[in-house]
Structure 1
Amino acid sequence: MDLAAEKRRLRAEALGRRTAMGDEARAEASRRAAANALSAIGPVDGRTIALFASFRDEIDTAPLADALRRAGARLALPVIVARGQPLRFRLWESHATLAPAGAYRIPEPGPEAPQVTPDVVLVPLAAFDRRGFRIGYGAGFYDRTLQILRQENTVQAIGFALACQEVSAAPAEPHDEPVDMMVTESEIISCARAR
């Protein structure tokens, strides 16, 4: 089996289901997923939580960001340094203006924002399975980043997505870094990290 082709197929199917939800259903699901994520993360006062800026029709992270800020978390967003490199995280203050950057034009804090090391990383994805393996968007940024963070520090990686993005089994390659937990609008799935 060609793993790359299988990943492309599963990614396309999961993203098709996500798009088919429509804006209203996705917004409601995002609010429910935010409540689940807050419960899954636990106490956040003073902790640094890395979110992601929602892109296209991804799960909306704004409801979770608002809830985390109210609970006392420090928020960070990823910054793409270069292709093939791990992500960096910059502090995301509530008043900060985010600017689209890089080839993907994903909003991120400016270079004046301090670089931080997160305690928890919310990971975007195209598809996931219950083992914690995920299919990203193909560039490997989060796999490289999680590998380094796990070597340097204790970090909790949480996949954050819509339930419709689940697949029975995401093909796993040696470089793939599974998440510790998956959170959707329907449930919190604890994943035993498979290595």
Structure 2
Amino acid sequence: MIHPNHPDPDLTTAKAQARAHAVAVRRQAHSDYGRLAAEKLAIYGNALTFDIGTVVAGYWPMGDELDPRPLLELLGGRGCTLALPVVTARGQALTFRRWDSGDPLEAGFHGTLHPIAASAVLVPKVLLVPLLAFDAHGYRLGYGGGYYDRTLADLRLHAHVTAIGIAFAAQQVQAVPRDRHDQPLDLMLTEHGPMKPEIS
């Protein structure tokens, strides 16, 4: 029997193997058409309809993550309030600070960049979520820190939150290894357009 406070070693191994493959796939996709894909996200973003003032949390891209900034600028121009995540401590849920294009950023944990401490703290209604891989059921493979799973679990206790996975289409896999702690996405958005999860 697996103790609830200790991860299943088989699942841990499966996730590690899946991450190794997913890293290579995303790196190649970014090299081949990263800039074009980012531009297409913004085009397909026209299909996303949010009320004026809706707080949309994106992310500042690291390495070969698909760049959501053109999409964020589109949403900001349509009246959404933008935010970026802040890692306050390892093992804790993310917080979010207001951000507009051109605002200064500061360094955070894991090589991230986030808005400065003087920026307002916001509670998002929509999250654009980076990932390594996703499947048709809306589950994502993250980096192993659990930040987005904790954050989504906390936010969903209090209100409806829309989680949109941002990825290259090549990052889709048949099935993401997962357990009961993994939070599903409400939508996936790739350079081929939006995808709603299949109901299993």
TM-score per shorter chain, which class?
A: over 0.9
1:24 Cα offset (Å): 5.6
1:141 Cα offset (Å): 0.2
1:72 Cα offset (Å): 1.3
Please tell me whether the aligned partners of residues 15 and 165 of structure 1 are also in contact (alpha carbons under 8 angstroms).
no
Q: What CA distance in whole angstroms lies between the structure 2 residues aligned with 1:134 and 1:164?
A: 13
Where structure 2 has 5 or more consecutive residues not aligned to the other structure, the ranges are 1-8
Q: What CA distance in whole angstroms lies between the structure 1 residues aligned with 2:41 and 2:18?
A: 22
Partner residue of 1:72?
Answer: 79
1:88 Cα offset (Å): 0.3
Residues 94 and 33 of structure 1: CA distance in aligned 2, closer, same or farther (over 3 Å): closer
Partner residue of 1:7?
Answer: 15
Please tell me whether the aligned partners of residues 86 and 114 of structure 2 are also in contact (alpha carbons under 8 angstroms).
yes
Cα RMSD of the aligned pairs, angstroms, is: 1.7
Please tell me whether the aligned partners of residues 182 and 188 of structure 1 are also in contact (alpha carbons under 8 angstroms).
yes
Query: TM-score, normalising length from structure 2?
Result: 0.90
Residues 193 and 144 of structure 1: CA distance in aligned 2, closer, same or farther (over 3 Å): farther
Query: TM-score, normalising length from structure 1?
Result: 0.92
Residues 34 and 7 of structure 1: CA distance in aligned 2, closer, same or farther (over 3 Å): farther
Of 174, 183, 189 in structure 1, the residue corresponding to residue 189 of structure 2 is 183
Please tell me whether the aligned partners of residues 180 and 193 of structure 1 are also in contact (alpha carbons under 8 angstroms).
no
1:78 partner SS = strand
Please tell me whether the aligned partners of residues 187 and 195 of structure 2 are also in contact (alpha carbons under 8 angstroms).
yes
Q: State the Cα deviation string for residues 4-46 of structure 1 (Å, max 9, x = none).
A: 111122222122111113546111011112322341x313421
Partner residue of 1:122?
Answer: 128
Please tell me whether the aligned partners of residues 136 and 198 of structure 2 are also in contact (alpha carbons under 8 angstroms).
no
Q: What CA distance in whole angstroms lies between the structure 2 residues aligned with 1:139 and 1:26?
A: 25
Partner residue of 1:156?
Answer: 162
- Name the amino acid aligned to 1:163: A
Partner residue of 1:51?
Answer: 58
Runs of 4+ in 1 over 3 A off after TM superposition: none
Residues 93 and 150 of structure 1: CA distance in aligned 2, closer, same or farther (over 3 Å): same
Where structure 1 has 5 or more consecutive residues not aligned to the other structure, the ranges are none
Please tell me whether the aligned partners of residues 87 and 145 of structure 1 are also in contact (alpha carbons under 8 angstroms).
yes
Greater RCO structure (CA 8 Å; 6+ sep) = 1
